[in-house]
Amino acid sequence: MKITLASNSPRRKELLGALELDFEVRTLDGIDETYPQGLTMTGIPEHISRHKAMAYALAEDELLITADTIVYLDGEVLGKPANAKEACSMLRKLSGKTHQVITGVTLRTIDRSHTFSCVTEVTFADLTQEQIKHYVDNYSPFDKAGAYGIQEWIGYIGIGKIEGSFFTIMGLPVHLVYQELLNFIG
């Protein structure tokens, strides 16, 4: 089967490539990423991932992979910040606390689909205002859920503990994707 990754994320492209699979990247603009109220923390990224997958027309021999990642803190979803002020606010909320990062993934062919998710707990150390400002001013938090990339400076200095998959935090739980692909393809 021809594998297609439907994502603009360079991190997802890098992670899927590390599985040594041949794939192409295809994206559509303007896919609605809203979700209905009342979904569980795993239900939210699963819903969005499934919705993204359904937006694509597929060829007979094509397997599409879509994903969505959220940061969940005390019942609140922290998405991608719109600006520096919002990024700083999110990082202040995460400082000194444990939150969940959930990535939902959908595998879809022309005649079937399968959606799953992975949850990882992340604990931040107490961050100073100067550290938060340095990160927001010098890195790119605007395309990342929760305004941070664990593989960047803030992750090096600020993450005190991880329970679960590091790669889920980066946006693609490759250990599960690999296993689920094997099961899906048969």
- 36 burial (CB, 10 Å; 0-12 / 13-18 / 19+) is exposed
Biggest distance spanned by C-alpha atoms of the chain: 53
User: What are the start-end ranges of the E strands in the chain?
Assistant: 2-5, 23-25, 62-73, 76-78, 98-108, 113-124, 159-163
How far is 39 from 145, CA to CA, in rounded Å?
Answer: 18
Q: Does the annotation mark 137 as catalytic?
A: no
Q: Read off the amino acid at residue 19.
A: L
Catalytic residue among 22, 29, 61, 68: 68
Q: Among candidates 68, 64, 65, 10, which has minimal Cα distance to 34?
A: 68
d(CA 103, CA 119): 7
Residues carrying an active site annotation:
68
